[in-house]
Chains A and B, each alone.
Chain A
Amino acid sequence: DQQVKQNSPSLSVQEGRISILNCDYTNSMFDYFLWYKKYPAEGPTFLISISSIKDKNEDGRFTVFLNKSAKHLSLHIVPSQPGDSAVYFCAASANDYKLSFGAGTTVTVRA
């Protein structure tokens, strides 16, 4: 049962432009959302998170938006840089030990 879905397996964007990654979830009990970045052959690293009491969280070039009514969140990267090329995972938690992950979106930033 895939409770967190990233429907775009890949995204290609030109350097300097905005990258927008989308994530949908089905469990209305989720109240904390995270984005992870993963390079090949490495473990994922935490990028940014947002609590359900907020609808936006910003950290440098990264902004996460949460639309609870639509059960949708997105990650914006502005401006995109070559080092941003990686797989991005969306994750959600219902305040327990389980963190549900999406299948990931592979971002390629073109020079």
Chain B
Amino acid sequence: SQTIHQWPATLVQPVGSPLSLECTVEGTSNPNLYWYRQAAGRGLQLLFYSVGIGQISSEVPQNLSASRPQDRQFILSSKKLLLSDSGFYLCAWSVGTGRYFGPGTRLTVT
């Protein structure tokens, strides 16, 4: 069966510090991979999606970036965090229309 891992589970970072969140998927090949953010009291906002290694599409302009160095690895990064980057970050994968979400990372920027 397929599983998706995200780490860390929680993170507190100061403004201006870098960020690296990692996501890996097991049990499937060539999945579509996604990064979502859920801000407090809001829905799920698609940040990035990837249909293959090295292929990244950005949905919103921001100071975040994503990379897919391996088929089942997706990384969310920032060089300098902003206060507004606080939120719950979710990695997801799909083969088809549905989405299967990871456990999420709670990021607090102070």
Among A43, A46, A97, A102, the residue within 8 A (CB) of B90 is A43
Check: B98 CB closer than 8 A to any chain A CB: yes
CA distance A39 to B97 in the complex (A): 22
Main secondary structure of the interface of B (DSSP, over half): strand
Check: A62 CB closer than 8 A to any chain B CB: no
Could you give, for residues 42-55 of chain B, a 1 whenever the CB lies within 8 Å of some chain A CB and a 0 otherwise?
11111001010000
Check: B101 CB closer than 8 A to any chain A CB: yes
Q: Which of B12-20, B69-77, B78-86, B102-110 contacts A (4 or more CB under 8 A)?
A: B102-110
Are A41 and B104 in contact, with the CB atoms below 8 A? yes
Residues of B within 8 A of A34 (CB): 97-99
Interface band, chain B: 20 to 34
Interface of chain B residues 20 through 61 with chain A (CB within 8 A): 32, 41-46, 49, 51, 57, 59
Residues of A within 8 A of B90 (CB): 43-44
Are A44 and B44 in contact, with the CB atoms below 8 A? yes
CA distance A16 to B101 in the complex (A): 29
Residues of A within 8 A of B97 (CB): 32, 34, 93, 95, 99
Could you give, for residues 68-111 of chain A, a 1 whenever the CB lies within 8 Å of some chain B CB and a 0 otherwise?
00000000000000000000010101010111011110000000
Check: A45 CB closer than 8 A to any chain B CB: yes
Among B46, B102, B103, B106, the residue within 8 A (CB) of A99 is B46
Total A-B pairs, Cβ < 8 A: 56
Closest to B99 in A: A99
Given known A-B contacts A34-B98, A43-B104, A97 and B43 have beta carbons under 8 A apart: no
Among A43, A95, A101, A103, the residue within 8 A (CB) of B103 is A43
Residues of B within 8 A of A98 (CB): 46, 49, 59
Are B43 and A89 in contact, with the CB atoms below 8 A? yes
B residues within 8 Å of A by Cβ? Answer: 6, 9, 32, 41-46, 49, 51, 57, 59, 88, 90, 92, 97-104, 106
12 example contacts (A-B, Cβ-Cβ < 8 A) are as follows A9-B41, A32-B97, A41-B9, A43-B104, A44-B99, A91-B44, A93-B97, A98-B46, A98-B49, A101-B45, A104-B42, A104-B43
